[in-house]
Amino acid sequence: MNAHQIIIRPLITEKNTNLMQLNKYCFEVDKNASKPEIGAAIATIFNVTVTDVATINVRGKMRRRGIRTGYTSRWKKAIVTLAAGNTIDVFEGM
Amino acid sequence: MKVTSERMPRSILQLTIEIDEATVEKELDRASRGLSQKAKVPGFRPGKAPRAILERFYGRQALLEEASEGMINAGFKYALESEGIEPIAQASLGDVQFNVMPYTVVINVPVEPITKIADYSGYKQVFAVPAVTDEVMNRAMDDMREKHVVLREPEESRSAQQGDLITAEVDVVHNGLSINGRIDGQPGQSTDLILEPGRLIGGLMEGVIGMSIGENKTVAATMPEDYTDETLRGEAVTFDVTVRRIQERILPDWNELPTLENKEGTLADLKHATSDELAKNARENAENRLVNGFIDSLVAGAVYDYHESMIELEADRILRGQEQEYARYGTTAEAVYRQMGRKREDLVAQYLPQGEERLKRNLAMREFVTAEGILVDDSDIDVEIDAMLESYEPEQRETMKALLREQLVASVANAALDKKIRARVMELVAQSGPDAEPAAKKKSTKKPASTENDDDAPSAAAPKKKTTKKAE
């Protein structure tokens, strides 16, 4: 898996915007990616120094269509902490 | 912020405002807060999405559109303050450039009009007061006597005689067509005819004399050459007259006239007083003609640059004056308009030509007042109030004085200014004696107002506040 396969998209929400003040950035990442792989991928793509990676496996939500019920896909969220002085361009100006 | 202004025709000041970056940023922030409240951005509660997110989500153009009103208002406010501009009507937005910094906005502001009056120093007129002739005097005395006429049914049924008042149905026919609506009253309605020489159209009086009640007669007559309806002047018409009522007109004795007029003294005293009154009126009329002639000439010779909204405002003022009249008669303007089946806006549009004339007159007079330095101060107002109070009973004077001093002070000031203007015009224009030049010849010496004559234009620094009272 290359870096762009690991990092799917940045997660831009109200909560994550607040986390940026703590130099923490959130991404949706590949379900099978490990913390080191995620850290390395972020460092490669954005040219930053990653100090910590926290991950959360987000469970699929139950959805119902009439009598049928199912679940949305499970996915993995990563909260990446950068070294002081590092920022990620994609969030610049936020 | 940078502002450049340029005076355009029709009294418009074109402001080109360059909006500085700080204002743009401030307004964009403000707009993003507003947009954030309305917009639904995934991941954010309403009002919580930051400006950068909104800018990415909706694009900068959407934010600019949201911020444009604030930027324009801020720029306009700054321009008005910095340039000391006082708009006289709603400004209009011209070109707006929000693509490249610096952003620019063009705003057209209607401002105070500019009026240049022509040189009036050469305008002279002979001031001649027509004498009160015996004919004029006799007519006035006859009219006075006529006011006290007593009408009475004849004791015995008789035909119409000279001096009677006849109530008759009169149908006027010209070239085979009834033209009642154009002569007297409505068709089928009765008309009062006084059988006195000079009171009726030639031939009608002679035709009616001798008719009895209920009698019908067709009388041929010729319309007078000075008849109000031009199409009927000198035309042969027929009057189809049906007499309905005959009344004797009993005029009072000449010696009773002073008593009937509530005057002390004899008939000779009344004649003397009437003669004085007629002489005074003749003098006033002559003065009015002179002053009005001068003002008309001033208005016609002036060059104006005013905004069209001022015409509308003036037309509106004329209509408001009429509405006050309606209120005086106990009805409302809305009720009148409803009855007429017309809207107020249509009526304002109808009064636009009159409004323009009045506006020109006001502007020209304002310039004249400024050029002549005519001012109304408190002492003039006091004199005017004292003059006005003379027409009131002594016990009413205190109340009226307070009213004139407080609520009606503008009207009093206008009256005082009017008198001063008239006096000044008379000083400038009136020429007496046989050596006075004809007015037409003098008029031709007037210089037309032109841009080269700018030095002749009244100084803008001349006191305006007082003088505008009249113009307004």
**What are B167's strand-pairing partners?**
B192, B245
List, for residues B375-428, the tens digit of each pLDDT value: 888 888 888 888 888 888 888 888 888 888 888 888 899 999 999 999 898 988
Same domain? B108 vs B6? yes
List, for residues B236-293, the tens digit of each pLDDT value: 888 888 898 999 988 899 888 899 888 888 889 999 999 999 999 999 999 998 998 8
**What are B191's strand-pairing partners?**
B168
**What is d(CA B15, CA B4) in angstroms, rounded to the nearest whole number?**
6
CB contact under 8 A, B43 and A14: yes
Q: Which of B230, B250, B270 is the endpoint of a domain?
A: B250
The domain segmentation of chain A, as residue ranges, is 3-84
Same domain? B7 vs B98? yes
Q: Which of B222, B250, B278 is the endpoint of a domain?
A: B250
Nearest to B48 among A14, A92, A94 (CB): A14
Q: Is A11 on the interface with B (CB under 8 A)?
A: yes
Same domain? B161 vs B70? no
Q: Is A21 on the interface with B (CB under 8 A)?
A: no
DSSP code at position B103: E
Chain A residue numbers with beta carbons less than 8 Å from the beta carbon of B44 are 13-14, 17
Give the number of domains in chain B: 2
* CATH (domain of B87): 3.30.70.1050
List, for residues A22-58, the tens digit of each pLDDT value: 999 999 999 999 999 999 999 999 999 999 999 999 9
Q: Is B49 on the interface with A (CB under 8 A)?
A: yes
Q: Which domain holds residue B63?
A: 2-112
H, E, C per residue of B44-99:
CCCCCCCHHHHHHHHCHHHHHHHHHHHHHHHHHHHHHHHHCCCCCCCCEEEEEECC
Interface of A with B in 63-92 (CB under 8 A): 92
Residue B447 pLDDT level (bands cut at 50, 70, 90): very low
Nearest to B43 among A12, A92, A93 (CB): A12
| Tally of CA atoms within 13 A in the half-sphere of B83 that contains its CB | 23
**Residue range B353-369: average pLDDT?**
92
pLDDT at site B126: 85
Task: Tell me if the pTM is above 0.90.
Answer: no
Which residue from A minimizes the CA distance to B44?
A14
Quick one: which of B363, B374, B359, B367 has its CA closest to B456? B367
Same domain? B108 vs B171? no
CATH architecture of A3-84: 2-Layer Sandwich (3.30)
Q: Is residue B321, in this structure, part of any structural domain at all?
A: no
Q: Is residue B294, in this structure, part of any structural domain at all?
A: no
Same domain? B173 vs B73? no
